[in-house]
Chains A and B, each alone.
Chain A
Amino acid sequence: MIRIEARPQPSAVMAYATPVLAVVLTMIFGGILFAVLGKDPLQAIATIFWEPIFGEFAFFYRPQLLIKGAPLVLIAIGLALGFRAGIWNIGAEGQYIVGAICGAGAGLAFFPTESVLIFPFMVLAGALGGWAWAMIPAVLKVKFGTNEILVSLMLVYVAEQLLASMSLGLLKNPEGFGFPGSRNLQQYPSAHNAEIIAGTGMHWGVVAALIAVIFAYVLLTRHRLGFAIRVTGEAPRAAKFGGVNPGRLVLFCLGMSGLLAGLAGMFEVAGPSGQISIDFNVGYGFTAIIVAFLGRLNPLGIVAAGLLMALTYIGGDIAQSQLGLPAAAIQVFQGMLLFFLLALDVLTNYRVRVGRAEVA
């Protein structure tokens, strides 16, 4: 008989080593998968992890890492705050969409007026939109005790319908010959979230992500509110006795993660993406959940995890094109990463016992 039992003292070293081990195991088993598919495993792994950073065209891919990683980090930082307190916002994708709609709408309302005030106004609108969308599950939880996992997740699908409606109606480009999709904000200078230094990939969303990381780090390590978040997650009863107001914490954590997800959507629509379209969202809100856990819910870890996920996406596409690997194999590869991380976490916190259970 095989049982697992909790380790009395989980190893602190292992807690930090597991992400690295998970990456190594993913490379090994991913390599086997690629070999079974008839590709050179070393070449495939090198294409995914080496090519974008040090390859021939690294000057192009390195900035792309920032573009792909920034929204992941921005969203994951917000999610991590809630996850630490045991507040599960699974609907960041929806908040990302609403933030983008509000941000783009705020900019397009002034088209074609040019003013330096338009972009800050869009940032505000995007943040507010994401915040408001996250407040729906937050208020419902506080007032009626609903499950925030379900409500926030279901609101993603509502947001997707809203996005389709906006692309086909209110925000549709009047000069688009009836095709869906808004005007392209890249062609509207006042609203364009352009690269701050051309060719670096450094747009305002990247800056916002860095600010969010610092802010979250200080909050969690130096601020009373951060302490309340950590205590609530680790010992909810102790937190209650310690005077933490759980309702207020729910409002703060969901609101903050919604706000950051909304900002991510706004920076994306105004910059790299350029327009509101039916298929604007590409799953950043869900991938950010992986990023948050891969980064150990730690702001600095999340930066590393976000860049790593971005790397597997970019390298994965290169591997598809250069080596003919199917997209599904790349997705399995990314899935392995989370699988091994969770499996190793279990083994860090529990040990496997083989043999009969002792009679207590």
Chain B
Amino acid sequence: MKFTTLMASAALALGLAGGAYADGHEKTKVGFVYVGPVGDGGWTYEHDQGRLAVEEEFGDAVETVFVENVAEGPDSERVMTQMALDGADLIFTTSFGYMDPTNNVAAKFPDVKFEHATGYKRLHPNVSTYSARFYEGRAIQGHIAGKMTKTNTIGYIGSFPIPEVIRGINSAYIHAKKVNPDVEFKIIWVYTWFDPAKEADAAKTLIDQGADVVLQHTDSTAPQAAAQEAGGVVTFGQASDMGQYAPFPRVSSIIDDWAPYYIARTRAVMDGTWESKDTWDGIGAGMVGIGEISDAVPAEVREEALAMKAALADGSYHAFTGPLNKQDGSPFLADGETADDGTLAGMNFYVEGIEGDIPQ
């Protein structure tokens, strides 16, 4: 017997394949697969906040389960299968590396809905993808950073040279440059999402090179601590608010807020209105939050930043608006033109003015 039929017949025999309620289990069961520990204070922590929000919203009508520290690859595939076998109706898989495993498992359980974060593959009608337009937050960061820097040098801790991160660097640079034409970016790649020691080293190196603003695309608070120690260096919280470093060095933050999306999708499963789609929401939909801009930022700069936030939220302003050239001088966007989602999703070039090469 083929594995899929084995699965399907087993599921049928146990009455799991009949949708959310056909087998009589009253609660909608929602599973979450996490790549890190729920206490990481960043990426996974915020996903778990979303899970708790689902529990709060629906109370006894839902049951949530999660497994943390799940390695990408076969381990994640096993954990997803296990959740589906245990009767999950909806499973959120919250790391890019879960993309192929999510689609593999979705093929075996056509009645279970799968939601994969930050990926692009929806090979089956029961797979959706979702991500957040973090680059909108980066635009606001860039604006504040450009205004705050005195040395005109902004340090940037990059995790991996992938479109997501490159988009953030470009967005921050464009808006820093707009308010401060002399600004210069120094970028260090640490090849990790979460490694306090490496992040601290990178922050110190950037500060030694004259950076008085350090932006990070990594999840620990180590750069904040390094900035505090050095004194006079501005930072921004990443993924989580990192409010313990406010009002200075942390002057604002980009917060991932998955709660509205998780609640909406859980409700869709309950109502039977769930369908496969790709969601890429930003500040407007509340998926990207901007942490409180502290008093360390001059009032007028804060006003400008909040105005930009409002414009990004209502769609009257796009973070990638021409005229813009690519790093090699070739045209990217004409005057007034905005970047389309396809270009943004696969962004693999720096905009004009950023020095250095994207590592290959």
Partners in one complex: yes
Given A168-B160, A324-B65, A327-B69: A317 and B2 interface contact (C-beta under 8 Å): no
Query: How big is the B interface, by class?
Result: 35 or more
Give the distance in Å from the alpha carbon of A180 to the alpha carbon of B95 in the complex. 13
Is there a chain A Cβ closer than 8 Å to B298's Cβ?
no
Taking a contact as CB atoms under 8 Å apart, the answer to whether B74 and A67 are in contact is yes
Q: Look across to chain A and name the residue whose beta carbon is closest to the beta carbon of B36.
A: A327
Question: Which of B136-144, B278-286, B341-349 makes up part of the contact surface?
Answer: B341-349
Is there a chain B Cβ closer than 8 Å to A59's Cβ?
yes
Q: Out of A278, A313, A314, A326, which one reaches B68, CB within 8 Å?
A: A326
Is there a chain A Cβ closer than 8 Å to B220's Cβ?
no
Is there a chain A Cβ closer than 8 Å to B120's Cβ?
yes
Q: Out of A67, A161, A268, A272, which one reaches B191, CB within 8 Å?
A: A161
Is there a chain B Cβ closer than 8 Å to A177's Cβ?
yes
Taking a contact as CB atoms under 8 Å apart, the answer to whether B345 and A321 are in contact is no
Taking a contact as CB atoms under 8 Å apart, the answer to whether B82 and A59 are in contact is no
Given A169-B360, A273-B73, A320-B68: A327 and B2 interface contact (C-beta under 8 Å): no
Residues of B within 8 A of A354 (CB): none
Taking a contact as CB atoms under 8 Å apart, the answer to whether A279 and B191 are in contact is no
Taking a contact as CB atoms under 8 Å apart, the answer to whether B67 and A320 are in contact is yes
Taking a contact as CB atoms under 8 Å apart, the answer to whether B162 and A59 are in contact is no
Is there a chain A Cβ closer than 8 Å to B21's Cβ?
no
Question: How many residues on chain A are close to B (CB under 8 Å)?
Answer: 44
Given A59-B6, A168-B359, A168-B360: A178 and B346 interface contact (C-beta under 8 Å): yes
Is there a chain B Cβ closer than 8 Å to A60's Cβ?
yes
Taking a contact as CB atoms under 8 Å apart, the answer to whether B14 and A321 are in contact is no
Taking a contact as CB atoms under 8 Å apart, the answer to whether B67 and A321 are in contact is yes
Is there a chain B Cβ closer than 8 Å to A255's Cβ?
no
Taking a contact as CB atoms under 8 Å apart, the answer to whether A57 and B82 are in contact is yes
Taking a contact as CB atoms under 8 Å apart, the answer to whether B100 and A275 are in contact is yes
Given A164-B191, A321-B82, A327-B68: A177 and B74 interface contact (C-beta under 8 Å): no
Given A57-B10, A168-B359, A317-B75: A179 and B96 interface contact (C-beta under 8 Å): yes
Give the distance in Å from the alpha carbon of A56 to the alpha carbon of B163 in the complex. 43
Is there a chain B Cβ closer than 8 Å to A9's Cβ?
no
Nearest chain B CB to A44 CB, angstrom units: 15
Give the distance in Å from the alpha carbon of A60 to the alpha carbon of B104 in the complex. 15
Residues of B within 8 A of A280 (CB): 73
Residues of B within 8 A of A179 (CB): 96, 120, 162-163
Residue among A67, A279, A321, A327 with most chain B CB within 10 A: A321
Is there a chain A Cβ closer than 8 Å to B112's Cβ?
no
Taking a contact as CB atoms under 8 Å apart, the answer to whether B100 and A184 are in contact is yes
Give the distance in Å from the alpha carbon of A100 to the alpha carbon of B310 in the complex. 49
Is there a chain A Cβ closer than 8 Å to B1's Cβ?
yes
Q: Mark A322-334, 1 if CB is under 8 A from B, else 0.
A: 1010111000000
Is there a chain A Cβ closer than 8 Å to B78's Cβ?
yes
Q: Mark A168-212, 1 if CB is under 8 A from B, else 0.
A: 110000000111110010100000000100110000000000000
Given A178-B347, A321-B67, A321-B82: A274 and B162 interface contact (C-beta under 8 Å): no
Give the distance in Å from the alpha carbon of A272 to the alpha carbon of B73 in the complex. 7
Taking a contact as CB atoms under 8 Å apart, the answer to whether A272 and B74 are in contact is yes
Give the distance in Å from the alpha carbon of A207 to the alpha carbon of B160 in the complex. 36
Is there a chain B Cβ closer than 8 Å to A348's Cβ?
no
Is there a chain A Cβ closer than 8 Å to B79's Cβ?
yes
Nearest chain A CB to B115 CB, angstrom units: 17
* Interface residue ranges of B66-111 to A (CB < 8 Å): 66-75, 77-79, 81-83, 85-86, 96-97, 100, 104
Is there a chain B Cβ closer than 8 Å to A64's Cβ?
yes
Taking a contact as CB atoms under 8 Å apart, the answer to whether B74 and A199 are in contact is no
Taking a contact as CB atoms under 8 Å apart, the answer to whether B73 and A321 are in contact is no
Is there a chain A Cβ closer than 8 Å to B41's Cβ?
no
Taking a contact as CB atoms under 8 Å apart, the answer to whether B3 and A198 are in contact is yes
Taking a contact as CB atoms under 8 Å apart, the answer to whether B97 and A318 are in contact is no
Given A168-B359, A328-B37: A177 and B65 interface contact (C-beta under 8 Å): no
Taking a contact as CB atoms under 8 Å apart, the answer to whether B120 and A177 are in contact is yes
Taking a contact as CB atoms under 8 Å apart, the answer to whether B65 and A322 are in contact is yes
Is there a chain A Cβ closer than 8 Å to B31's Cβ?
yes
Given A273-B73, A321-B31: A199 and B1 interface contact (C-beta under 8 Å): yes
Given A272-B74, A279-B71: A199 and B3 interface contact (C-beta under 8 Å): yes
Is there a chain B Cβ closer than 8 Å to A277's Cβ?
yes
Is there a chain B Cβ closer than 8 Å to A109's Cβ?
no
Is there a chain A Cβ closer than 8 Å to B353's Cβ?
no
Give the distance in Å from the alpha carbon of A313 to the alpha carbon of B69 in the complex. 12
User: Can you list 18 A-B pairs with a CB-CB distance of less than 8 A?
Assistant: A57-B85, A60-B81, A61-B82, A164-B160, A168-B162, A168-B360, A177-B120, A186-B100, A272-B73, A272-B74, A272-B77, A275-B100, A277-B72, A279-B71, A279-B72, A317-B79, A320-B68, A326-B68
Ranked nearest first, the 8 interchain pairs of A and B with the lowest CB-CB distance are: A272-B74, A282-B71, A199-B3, A327-B69, A169-B360, A273-B73, A177-B346, A178-B346
B interface with A by C-beta (< 8 Å): 1-3, 6-7, 10, 14, 31, 37-38, 65-75, 77-79, 81-83, 85-86, 96-97, 100, 104, 120, 160-163, 191, 345-348, 359-360
Given A57-B85, A280-B73, A313-B75, output 8 extra A-B contacts at Cβ < 8 Å. A61-B82, A67-B78, A68-B74, A168-B160, A178-B162, A272-B74, A274-B100, A278-B97
